[in-house]
Structure 1
Amino acid sequence: MIFALWNCGLDGRIPIWLYNCSKLQVLDLSWNHLDGEIPPWIGEMEKLFYLDFSNNSLTGEIPKNLTDLKSLISPHKYASSLNSPTGIPLFVKRNQSGSGLQYNQASSFPPSILLSNNRLNRTIWPEIGRLKQLHVLDLSKNNITGIIPSSISDMGNLEVLDLSCNDLNGSIPASFNTLTFLSKFNVANNHLQGAIPTGGQFLSFPNSSFEGNPELCGKIISPCAASNLDLRPASPPTSSSSRLGRGGIIGITISIGVGIALLLAIVLLRVSRRDAGHQIGDFEEDFSRPPRSSDTFVPSKLVLFQNSDCKELTVADLLKSTNNFNQSNIVGCGGFGLVYKAELPNGIKTAIKRLSGDCGQMEREFQAEVEALSRAQHKNLVSLQGYCQHGSERLLINSYMENGSLDYWLHERVDGSSLTWDIRLKIAKGAARGLAYLHKEPNIVHRDIKTSNILLNERFEAHLAEFGLSRLLRPYDTHVTTDLVGTLGYIPPEYSQTLTATFRGDVYSFGVVLLELLTGKRPVELKSENRVEEIFDTSIWDASYEKQLLEVLSIACQCIVQDPRQRPSIDQVVLWLEAIGSVKER
């Protein structure tokens, strides 16, 4: 089901015997020296939903057969491809120096086609729009020509689209603003022209997503009116201006020489970036390196709150406590960065979140988390111990949760153990109390309630986390206008229509969490399999709990009604949950 041999020094062509692996779901041959063309029979592998051939030396066109991958076309085929835990950790290599991000089962991999940093050419097939289950498409750093197919806008689940560093021309299809889940978009360094689409997610993409396309225009780069150059012939030069002295001729010659030198340097840089498949540096700066020259005058700032367990902490202590942010200390992956386990000099364990991503987006995330967690103090919220600014780095120091995330216990455990119903009900009550506090006291809408953002301490008490998307509502406000953000399966239906975040939107997402606690299934799996008659997780089903399970199911169904006006408030949900049985403390 899984064949992963990244960074193994493999050369030659992709072997034909892989075609016999009829149950293959995940195929990762990235960061090797493979050459030749991508074989068309890859498209005949019925269960394949994750393909990574990036960072090799593959040539030729993208096979049209890839648009026939059944698991990426049909939601039923994709759901049937998901397997149980493998019992061994799986890793994905994202950059040159890192050891890889860890997954515990194939279903954790996002449906992806990753072909970046090869020598692929020709065009992108319009039929690629058939892959409606695809979440990540990365064709960057190749020699792909032609236009960007507008059919890509049919891929409604697409979260990442990277077409940068190719030879694409034409315009960015206006229909792309309908891709409501698109969180990363990059078409930099092509030959695109015309207006950048407006609306949808395009208001949140940084300038770097479009740079290197001089003929692109729009609100993000420059007004389109500025690109309408005056093409009328210039007036003929006067006799005095046409007489150039010797100094003028020398000046023009030097200018032309410098221009040619710069042009050659740009061409060589682009060619070397494509050819040096294994020379690509880490996408993140090493925290231990000196700050960039632009950051040298930005002083380090370490702020510790009064509730902090370590009053005399230094930046050096942070580095030492995480072993210089070694990947062996990674305990989680937030929406905007990795989370590291750290043991402070006094022996206290903390979780340090190291933010990453586009500079402006990272700064917004950092400010949102600091503002939310400094205002909100509740036993069912993750406690912010402090924060650190060091050059371009942003760190959040949180309390450490021994039992990780609820998502891990429901979907990632490899030893077969699971949460009892008593513990699940306890978690539901705790998470609801934390959300009710946010809505009432600091007036905060979270916008990203999901199982991976509910953390569990050693007593399995629930703590809401990840406040990077949260927004503070002023008194008497009912909503906040925002970009469409969140996670597939948890986003309220009204968000895509009104682009307004409300407390009732959080209630919808919490209702989805209740369904996960009851079923043990992810939201996408629930929708795909439509197993209403088998709603309850077999590991918690017991006749003595039937009344409680049905009561929580009823609450969940009221939380996820389509009309937000008919959903209960989170305070009402807390009252309903508190009235259900007694929770046995663990």
Structure 2
Amino acid sequence: MKNYALCGPPRLLVPPCKNDIHKNSQTIILHAFRYGLPTIGIVLVLIVLTIMYRRCQRRSTALPIKDDLLSLKTPRRISHAELSRATNGFEESNMLGSGSFGYVYKGRLSDGMEVAIKVFNLQTEGAFRSFDIECDAMLNIVHRNIVKVITCCSSVDFKALVLDYMSNGNLEKWLHSKNCFLDIIQRVDIMIDVAVAIEHLHNGHPTPIIHCDIKPSNILLDEDMVAHVGDFGVAKLLGEGEVMKQTMTLATIGYMAPEFGSAGLVSIKSDVYSYGIVLIETFTKRKPTDNVFVEEETIRHWMESSLPKGAIEIADVDLLRREDEYFVVKANCISSIMELALNCSAELPEERKEMKDVVVELKKIKQRLLNNIQHF
């Protein structure tokens, strides 16, 4: 642009060359050498640098953006029709499970990608709000231990979330199905993953996120048995300066903190309580809603009174047997974890641990376990 000395054939969109262009050029060069070579040299250097900078800019904008970043900034568009095709018309055989606000299906998109599709039942009270909350909360969260939202599908009469597919189901299945078993290392690793995810929700954003419904069915396992926290349908975002929120929404009985169930007050310490209950369930295989817990007796009260008798009295029978090679090592590990669970599920919120401290403590317990097993 504006380089009037350029000339050549018309197809290059430049003026035609004149016969005396060479002579004129020689004259210009001689004058340049005599009067202004230093100045022209500086100008030429600046021009070259400017051209190189602009080319680099164009090249960098043309480079492909990483999938993760692209999915954050410009979520993939997907239609109801494609989701229907992916699930064979939302066929029952493709259903993975159901929840308070709808159903989850396994699907395969047109590009071959396997996904989980959470379809909201819009006839259910709170479904619209739950969809909005999940979109707001989960589209802004990128973390190894939190289920990734690939995109949303939203119209007047249909709303769905497209999620990463977790091939190993949820922790509920692995704890309470006859054909599934987790060894002690796997259980510790899963609970570390969950603790890391919750700590990220509480401290990894300018606006803390309270999950409000931590339970085994919301802890999903991928093909490598890495745990991911999902289902943010009743999550709460704390505003600036807020430490708790009032809510009319109830979560799952047995996992709710006392102040949540009685007064509708939620804070990050509510998640800590729920985590403590899940920690107990993971190593005892007892649900907080089991029939043995009646009236004032809760799973926490049972643990508090049973722990002094020893780990063999409380642990999952498939996890700890007296004839085990590493019985003492495993028993000590489970006892330490149950003490941590009691500290997480204290009655008063201010007496509960911080999730960052839970992560540190669990990792120490795991390391002691590994060191002792290797020593033996």
Which segment drifts farther, 511-520 or 329-338?
329-338
Larger helix proportion, structure 1 or 2?
Answer: 2
Is 1:433 the equivalent of 2:196? yes
Deviation at 1:476, TM superposition (A): 2.1
Deviations 1:510-550 (A, max 9, x none): 00000011101111226348473521001111333122111
**8 Å CA contact retained: 2:249, 2:264:** yes
Q: Distance in 2 between matches of 1:426 and 1:527?
A: 28
Do the aligned partners of 1:310 and 1:344 also contact (CA within 8 Å) in 2?
no
Q: What's the counterpart of residue 453 of structure 1?
A: 218
1:141-199 Cα shifts (integer Å, max 9, x gaps): xxxxxxxxxxxxxxxxxxxxxxxxxxxxxxxxxxxxxxxxxxxxxxxxxxxxxxxxxxx
Q: Do residues 537 (structure 1) and 316 (structure 2) align?
A: yes
Which residue of the other structure, out of 344, 351, 376, is the alignment partner of 1:566?
351
Using structure 2 for the length normalisation, give the TM-score: 0.70
Q: How has the CA–CA distance of structure 1 residues 489 and 365 changed in structure 2, closer, same or farther, with 3 Å as cutoff? A: same
Checking the alignment, whether the CA contact within 8 Å between 2:234 and 2:249 is kept in structure 1 is no
Partners of 2:76 and 2:151 within 8 A in 1: no
Deviation at 1:310, TM superposition (A): 9.6
Hey, what's the Cα distance between the residues in 2 that align with 1:574 and 1:506? 14
Q: State the distance in 2 between where 1:315 and 1:333 align.
A: 19
- Say whether the 8 Å CA contact 1:448–1:486 is kept in structure 2: yes
Q: CA deviation at 1:332?
A: 1.7
Q: Does 1:498 align with 2:263?
A: yes
Q: Which residue type is aligned with residue 410 of structure 1?
A: L
**Aligned residue among 71, 76, 82 for 1:307:** 71
SS of the residue aligned with 1:527? Answer: coil
For the residues of structure 2 that align with 1:389 and 1:312, how far apart are their CA atoms?
10
Q: State the alpha-carbon separation in 1 of the partners of residues 69 and 126 from structure 2.
A: 25
Which residue in 2 is equivalent to 1:340? Answer: 105
> What is the 5 A alignment of 1:348-367?
348-358=113-123, 361-367=126-132
Query: Could you tell me how far 1:396 is from its partner in structure 2?
Result: 0.4
Contact kept, 8 Å, 2:78 with 2:153, in 1: the verdict is no
Deviation at 1:572, TM superposition (A): 1.1
Secondary structure of the 1:363 match is: helix
In 2 relative to 1, CA 504–480 (structure 1 residues): closer, same or farther, beyond 3 Å? same
Q: 1:426 corresponds to which letter in structure 2?
A: D
Q: 1 or 2, which has the higher strand percentage?
A: 1
In structure 1, runs of 5+ residues without a counterpart are: 1-303
Deviation at 1:498, TM superposition (A): 2.9
- The match for 1:406 is 171
- Report 1:220-259 matches (<5 A): none
Runs of at least 4 residues off by over 6 Å = none
- The one-letter amino acid of 1:385's match is I
CA distance in 2, matches of 1:403, 1:480: 34
Q: Assess if the C-alpha contact under 8 Å between 2:153 and 2:160 holds in 1.
A: yes
Shift of 1:357: 4.6
Please give the TM-score of this superposition, normalised by the length of structure 1: 0.45
Q: Look up the SS of the partner of 1:523 in the other structure.
A: coil
| Cα offsets for 1:357-389 (capped at 9, x unmatched) | 546511100001001101211110000000001
Mapped partners of 1:439, 1:565: distance in 2: 15
Secondary structure at 2:289 match in 1? helix
Structure 2 letter corresponding to 1:378? H
Which residue of 136, 148, 163 corresponds with 1:383? 148
Instruction: Say if 2:243 is the partner of 1:478.
Output: yes
Asked whether the equivalents of residues 484 and 495 of structure 1 are also in contact (C-alpha less than 8 Å), the reply is no
> Residue 352 of structure 1: SS of its match in structure 2?
strand
2:177 is the alignment partner of 1:392: no
Q: Which residue does the alignment assign to 2:49? A: none
Q: Distance in 1 between matches of 2:174 and 2:126?
A: 30
* CA-CA distance at 1:305 after TM superposition: 8.1
With over 3 angstroms needed to count, the CA separation of the structure-2 counterparts of 1:379 and 1:576, relative to structure 1, is: same
What is the rounded CA distance, in whole Å, between the counterparts of 1:581 and 1:465 in structure 2? 24
Q: Paired residue for 1:507, among 272, 276, 279?
A: 272
Given that 1:489 and 1:523 are in contact with CA atoms closer than 8 Å, whether structure 2 keeps it comes out as yes
What CA distance in whole angstroms lies between the structure 2 residues aligned with 1:317 and 1:374? 21
Percent identity of the aligned residues? 31
Code of the aligned partner of 1:527? F
Counterpart-to-counterpart distance in 1, 2:241 and 2:226: 32
Look up the match of 2:182.
419
Structure number with the bigger relative contact order (C-alpha 8 A, sep ≥ 6) is 2
SS of the residue corresponding to residue 98 of structure 2 reads strand
User: Which of 541, 553, 558 is the matching residue for 2:338?
Assistant: 553
Distance in 1 separating the partners of 2:227 and 2:343: 22
Partner of 1:108: none
1:368 partner amino acid: I
Max Rg structure? 2
8 Å contact kept, 2:250–2:261: no
1:305–1:386 contact (8 Å) kept in structure 2? no
Q: How many residues align?
A: 279
Query: Secondary structure, in 3 states, of the residue corresponding to 2:128?
Result: helix
Give the superposed CA RMSD: 2.3
Distance 1:307 1:455 in 2: 21
